[in-house]
Chain A
Amino acid sequence: MNKSKKNIGALIGEYGAFLALLLLVIVISIVSPEFRTASNFLNLLRQASFNGLIAFGMTCVILSDGIDLSVGSTFALSAIICAELIVYGVPTGAAMLISLLVGTLLGVISGVLVTKGRLQPFIATLITMTAYRGLSMIITDGKPISRLVASIETEGGQFLFKAVGKGNLEFGPAANPWFSIPIPVIILLVALAIFWFVLHKTTFGRKIYATGSNAKCANLVGVNTSKTKIAVYAISGFMAALAGLIMISRLDSAQPTLGDGFELDAIAAVALGGTSMSGGRGKIIGTFAGVLIIAVLNNGLNILGVGSYYQEVIKAIVILVAVLSDRKR
């Protein structure tokens, strides 16, 4: 097998997720004029940003031969802490930073359970998932914290808080929606670039792949596999917290049930993107395609008026077909 002579089958295998995405977009665009508008595409991307950010972190964890079920709960707990701090009167910027730190720390705890505690990643993060959800409930007494913007005193703070989730970056005539990109979409694209760089162009990225490919071997050539694993869970926690900030900014409220089930969408996106569930193989760009497929399905099926019960089944079928076609030949 010569690289330059890769056959079409291999190409489809490598970019299968994008092909599926393209096909979906074309089909839905033909059927629905409403779907193919610029404002809908941007809206779709904004909707995708939560899952996208979480799925990028999840990709790192899965590449290192782990899994992180706790992202949904981390999303909720860090968002709630941010909201509580804002209500308590902590400056917005500081509250957001603390929230991101908390998310990172929550990830570190999962990582320590996996490495020092020698728990299987599935079990370790099932434990943290349950614990973080419980803590969210305890902190809020199960009630939502609402009207966050109103509790921020400074105008700058209000602006910052709103910008994260609701803001647009405008750089052209207001009449053209393409010149007004939602901030969450910008964050998503910047994150994509950073993840791509770290995974493919740095020694840390190599360590993640090596750890997931064969931890024993990686350890023997001097890779600190424990440190690497803790780092990927920390990244995953950070990304979940970042997504959480965008969510509470959009909702102007935080509630303990936020992000329930988000871990499954993130894992689905990673799987759709062709990343091996046993680690060592996969690309961040594939995950991005996976995220978009799920977003296009959600958005497109809604616009087409498909009932939400049917949507779930259709999503399942698309994931099944994509994953089967991506299987190593």
Chain B
Amino acid sequence: MFYRTHVLVEMTSSSVAFGAAQVKEALEREIERVGLKNEVKVLETGSFGASLPSPFVVIYPDNVIYAPLRVQDVRRVVEEHLLKGRVVRELMLAGGLEWKTSEFAFPFPLAKETRVVLRNSGFIDPLNIEDYIARDGYMALAKVLTEMTPQEVIEVIKRSNLLGRGGAGFPTGLKWEFTYKAEGQEKYVVCNADEGEPGTFKDRLILEGDPHSILEAMAIAGYAVGAREGYIYVRAEYPQSIRHLEEAIRQAGEYGFLGENILGSQFSFWVKIRKGAGAYVCGEETALLESIEGKRGEPRVKPPYPPQKGLWGKPTVINNVETLANIPPIILRGPEWFKSIGTPTCPGTKVFTLTGNVNNLGLIEVPMGITLRELIFEIGGGVRGGHGLKLVQTGGPSGGTMTPDLLDVPMTFDTLPKYNSALGSGALTVVDDTHCIVDVVKSFGEFFLHESCGKCTPCRIGNKRIVEILEKISEGKGTLDHLEELLHLGRNMKMTAFCGLGQAAPNPLLRCLEFFREEFETHVKEKVCPAGTCQLKSLQRTVR
């Protein structure tokens, strides 16, 4: 059926929290009431981008944005705009932005935004495979199956220098090559969608907004490494991602992009979803494999690495959602195109999620190498309430702590470690100067205490002791010895913890102890909290 107008409603977990589902329902009800049901179609789409008001509705092809559109205003939009063709100016997005589509670029005021990973998010109905196909969906898979050998595919990915976007930044092409070369008939592709790093929600928006891009990339990976089966491990906290994936897998099967003899080739590939059950540690690749195998999600000894011995002991390639979303465009447009974005040693884009005390919360995809200053002050609109910037936690608690002196460092996988920081998952948690450093570090500590799997002692006991000491400090019972003990604990955990998570757990603590030494000392020497947000605040008042 042909529709003259499409109404696109952004439907992500965040917009649903703002009532997008009710707005969509109201739109459908009103459209039916005025008799436009056969002319106007309401579609759900993924995220339109950072810091946009919600619920966000686009009338297409008119290119008019109504945002935030409230349920009580839906009737007016339907009667005026859709029925009578008169734009309701006062309900339009402030600033009257024009919505244009052009390939891989999104000309919002966010001039720096470059969309590769989020190329379809917000433009297509994720529940309709034809929308994906219309935007070159499954073309890369077709190209790979008809024109390329597995070695050629691996060569292209290697030449693109795509680095794993889950946080570690390991070259994806090498992972594929190791898995390809590993001995064994049965091999697996696993998509790590256990996005648990606090402050990160990029994978959720990709899965909700463009699930087919992940299925296509997994099939390409399967062809390259010689696997017939793929698993997507999605965290339990993402029910909508799971629903969209289930539907996408069903449709891809129906259209012959998954299953037996894909596109008439000799290649067959199936994808299954495994749902997590609320364990942060399962984002660690070997813990994730244990979890798929129905066990407690405790990390394995490495080596052997998953490309040698992965799922059920078979060679396995594990890629993050964002990494996979880069694969189809690289295949279609070539490694040189990919390398023209970002920096020479760290090409491509990165999706950053802006969270915490920043004016514009949300996600943004920008070329690698952007600085924190641009991200927070230009795109993020600065620190909320005009406060000063205290710190930015990059890549979640296990990433790095960036202090205001590091605002101009280019954000890439290779530069940040030089500053004892890490790009990690791309989460940016902005903390303003009204917050007490002890309280902030304690919040990181409590996270690791809660999420430690308990397998090794440094992590299990170390995090417990860190939180206990920080509690003492914020109760006014801290001493200078406590600060030394924290340093000692942190350094030991870094050296002796079993997996990457335990080793990363003390990072924020160590960095903050160094940079905010004075504030810690004020807490233990003078029993006063300069910021006044930890429990010492009340103590401070009674003393005075």
- A and B together in one complex: no
